[in-house]
Each structure stands twice: as C-alpha cells, then as structure tokens.
Amino acid sequence: MPTISGKPAILVETRNGSTNSIPVKKVLDLWDLDDEWWRIVPIHRRYFKLLIDTGRVMTIFKDQSSGEWFRQEY
C-alpha cells in the first residue's frame, strides 16, 4: 500500500478480480494494538481510521508481524 510518512496515501481494494485505487483524504485517527502476548504469535497491529476520497470512513490495519494490510469489517 502506498504510504506517506508511514500513513496510507492510497487505498487499493481488490474485489471480484478488479482493483480500485482510492485516494485517502485524511487520516482521522491511528492507534497501535499489542495483545495476546502469551500466544506463539502475539498480535501487533497499527490501525488507521481513514476518510477516503468518496467521503466514506473506514478502518484498516497493518499487521506489524507480517507487513500485510487488512480492512477492519464491523
């Protein structure tokens, strides 16, 4: 995912075989989650609450262990 200073700049979504690039207008909030330290692979995530170009607000996170990005579904 393209970033500026470690923050998402463009959201790339892939659904049903098609890929869309959506500019991020603003990072509304960010926070870290370090949890389940007792497991073999603890949880280390950085969350971003984003305002995207369409006006929609969404939350994504980066798994700090694997480097993969995910969309938080509520």
**Tell me: the pLDDT tens digits for 20-50?**
888 999 999 999 999 988 888 889 999 999 9
Task: Give 12 or 6, the one with higher predicted confidence.
Answer: 12
Q: Which residue has the tokens 């993969």?
A: 68
Instruction: Specify whether the backbone of 36 is left (phi greater than 0), alpha (psi in -120 to 50) or beta.
Output: left
Q: What is the pTM of this model?
A: 0.78
